[in-house]
Structure 1
Amino acid sequence: MLDAMIDDDHTAVRASTQDGTYPRPQLLRSAWTDLCGTWSFAYDDADEGIASGWSSAGVSERDIVVPFPPESSASGVGDTGMHRVVWYSRDLTTADLAGAGHAAGRRLLLNFGAVDYRCDVWVDGQLAGSHEGGHTPFALDITGSAREGARIVVRAEDDPLDISQPRGKQDWREHPHAIWYHRTTGIWQPVWLESVPAVHITALRWTADPRAGIVTADIELSVRPTTGTEATISLSFDGRELAAVSAVATDRETTVVIPIAELRNGQSYEELLWSPENPRLLDAEVRVGDDVVYSYLGIRTAHVARGRFWLNDRPYYVRSVLNQGYWPESHLAAPSAEALRDEAELIRSLGFNATRVHQKFEDPRFLLAADQLGLLVWGEAPGTYTFTPTAIERTTREWLEVVRRDMSHPSIVTWVPLNESWGVQHIAADPRMQHFARSLVSLTKALDPTRPVVSNDGWEQVDTDVVAIHDYEWRPDVVRQRYATDADIRRLIDSVGPAGRALILSGDVSEAPVMLTEFGGISFDTSAADGAWGYSSATSPDDFAERFEGLMAAVHASEALAGFCYTQLADTLQETNGLVTDERTPKIPVDRIRAAIVGHHAN
Structure 2
Amino acid sequence: MMRSAWADLDGTWSFRHDDADSGLGAQWHTGLPEAREITVPFPPESVASGIAEPGFHPVVWYARTITGDDLAAAGRSEPAPVVLLHFGAVDYRARVWIDGRFVGEHEGGHTPFTFDVTALVADGDSHVLVVRAEDDPHDLTQPRGKQDWREDAHAIWYRRTTGIWQTVWLEAVPATSIEHVQWLPAGLTGVDLTVRLRGRVAAGTRLRVALRFDERDEDLATIDVDVAEGATSVQVPVPVRRQRNGQAEDELTWSPEHPRLVDATVSMHDAGGCVVDAVGSYLGIRTVGVGRGAFLLNGRPYDVRSVLNQGYWPDSHLAAPSRAALRREVELIKDLGFTGCRIHQKIEDPRFLYWADRLGLLVWGETPGAYEFSATAVQRLTREWMDAVDRDASHPSIVTWVPFNESWGIQRISEDRAQQAYSRALTDLTRALDPTRPVVSNDGWEQQNSDIITVHDYEGDGAVLARTYADESARERLLAGMGPAGRRILLDGSEDLGQPVMLTEFGGIDYQPTGRRENGWGYTAAADVEDWIARITALYDGIRASTFLAGSCYTQLTDTMQETNGLLTADREPKAPIQQIRGAVLGQS
TM-score bin (small chain): over 0.9
Aligned match for 1:111, one of 50, 70, 86: 86
| Superimposed CA distance per residue, residues 218-273 of structure 1 (whole angstroms, 9 cap, x where no aligned partner) | 00011341111111111101142111111111210101222211233521122110
Could you tell me which residue of structure 1 aligns to residue 171 of structure 2? Answer: 194
2:246 is paired with a residue whose SS is: coil
2:47 matched residue in structure 1: 73
State the partner residue of 2:329: 343
Residue in 1 that maps onto 2:230:
252
Match of 1:152? Answer: 129
- Matching residue within 502, 520, 528 for 2:507: 520
- 1:284-299 to 2 correspondence within 5 Å? 284-289=264-269, 290-299=276-285
Counterpart in the other structure of 2:526: 538
Q: Does 1:229 align with 2:205?
A: yes
2:126 partner SS? coil
1:424-503 equivalent positions in 2, closer than 5 A? 424-503=410-489
Partner in structure 1 of residue 376 of structure 2: 390
RMSD: 1.2
Structure 1 contact 321–355 (Cα < 8 Å) conserved = yes
Q: 1:103 to 1:466 in 2, by over 3 A?
A: same
The verdict on how the C-alpha distance between 1:115 and 1:59 changes in structure 2, with shifts beyond 3 A counting, is farther
Please say if residues 536 and 585 of structure 2, whose CA atoms lie closer than 8 Å, have aligned partners that are also in contact: no
Q: CA deviation at 1:63?
A: 0.3
List gaps (5 residues or longer) in structure 1: 1-26
**How many percent of aligned residue pairs carry the same amino acid?**
55
| Kept in 1: contact 2:533–2:584 (CA 8 A) | no
Q: Are 1:583 and 2:571 counterparts?
A: yes
The answer for the alignment partner of 2:391 in structure 1 is 405
Structural mapping, 1:258-273, within 5 Å: 258-261=236-239, 262-273=242-253
Contact 2:90-2:166 within 8 A present in 1 as well: yes
Q: What pairs with 1:324-339 in structure 2 (closer than 5 Å)?
A: 324-339=310-325
Alignment-derived partner of residue 115 in structure 2: 140
* Counterpart secondary structure, 2:77: coil
In 2, are the aligned partners of 1:58 and 1:151 still within 8 Å (CA)? no
The AA in structure 1 aligned to 2:557 is L
How far off is 1:530 after superposition?
4.3
* Deviation for aligned residue 1:507: 3.6
2:195 maps to which of 215, 219, 238: 219
Does the 8 Å contact 1:523/1:538 carry over to 2? yes
TM-score w.r.t. the length of structure 1 is: 0.93
The 2-side partners of 1:511 and 1:596 are apart by 30
Q: For residues 175 and 263 of structure 1, what CA distance do their matches in structure 2 show?
A: 57
Deviation at 1:525, TM superposition (A): 2.2
Which segment is superposed worse, 148-157 or 52-61? 52-61
- Assess if the C-alpha contact under 8 Å between 1:234 and 1:243 holds in 2: yes
Match of 1:8 in 2: none
Give the Cα–Cα distance (whole angstroms) in 2 for the partners of residues 583 and 453 of structure 1: 32
Tell me how far apart the structure 2 counterparts of residues 241 and 530 of structure 1 sit (CA, whole Å). Answer: 60
Matches within 5 A, 1:164-183: 164-183=141-160
Whether the 8 Å contact between 2:5 and 2:171 is mirrored in structure 1 is yes
Aligned length: 573
What SS is found at the alignment partner of 1:206?
strand
**How do 1:506-517 and structure 2 match up within 5 A?**
506-517=493-504
- Structure 1 Cα separation of the partners of residues 579 and 534 of structure 2: 14
What is the Cα deviation at residue 291 of structure 1?
1.3
Query: Residue in 1 aligned with 2:19?
Result: 45
The residue type paired with residue 53 of structure 2 is D
String of CA shifts for 1:507-546, please: whole Å, max 9, x gaps: 4333200110000000112354341121011121112111
Distance apart, 1:586 and its partner CA: 1.1
Is 80-89 or 545-554 further displaced after alignment? 545-554
**Bigger CA drift: 336-345 or 260-269?**
260-269
CA distance in structure 2 between the partners assigned to 1:360 and 1:107 by the alignment: 32
Alpha-carbon separation, structure 1, partners of 2:373 and 2:512: 35
Contact 2:16 2:32 in 1 (8 A): no
Amino acid at match of 1:595: G
Mapped pair 1:598 → 2:586: yes
Amino acid at match of 2:570: D
Residue of structure 2 in register with 1:17 after alignment: none
User: Which residue does the alignment assign to 2:69?
Assistant: 95
Q: Does 1:366 align with 2:346?
A: no
Report if aligned partners of 1:207, 1:408 keep a CA contact under 8 Å in 2: yes
**5+ unaligned residues in a row in structure 2: which ranges?**
270-275
Question: Deviation per CA, 1:104-137, whole angstroms, max 9, x where unpaired?
Answer: 5610000000000001000111111100000000
Write the distance in 2 (CA, Å) between the matches of 1:169 and 1:264: 48
Partner residue, 1:563: 551
- Separation in structure 2 between the aligned mates of residue 509 and residue 596 of structure 1, nearest angstrom: 32
Deviation at 1:200, TM superposition (A): 1.1
In structure 2, the CA distance between the partners of 1:249 and 1:593, relative to structure 1 (3 Å rule), is same
Shift of 1:329: 1.1
Conserved 8 A contact 1:464-1:509: no
What is the identity, as a one-letter code, of the residue corresponding to 1:140?
A: F
Letter in 2 for 1:522: I
The correspondence for 2:100, drawn from 100, 125, 131, is 125
1:208 and 1:543 mapped to 2: Cα distance? 45
CA distance in 2, matches of 1:76, 1:537: 35
SS in 2 for 1:92: strand
User: Could you give the per-residue CA deviations for residues 494-517 of structure 1, whole angstroms, max 9, x where no partner exists?
Assistant: 011010010001443332001100
Query: What TM-score does the superposition give when structure 2 sets the normalisation length?
Result: 0.96
1:263 and 1:272 in contact (8 A); partners too: no
The CA deviation string for residues 311-349 of structure 1, in whole angstroms up to 9 with x for no partner, is: 001100010000000011111101111101100000000
**Residues in 2 aligned to 1:577 and 1:57: alpha-carbon distance in whole angstroms:** 45
Aligned to 2:29: 55
CA contact (8 A) 1:55 1:153 kept: yes
Distance 1:433 1:285 in 2: 44
When structure 1 is superposed on structure 2, of 525-534 and 418-427 the one drifting more is 525-534
Q: Note the C-alpha offset of 1:203.
A: 1.1
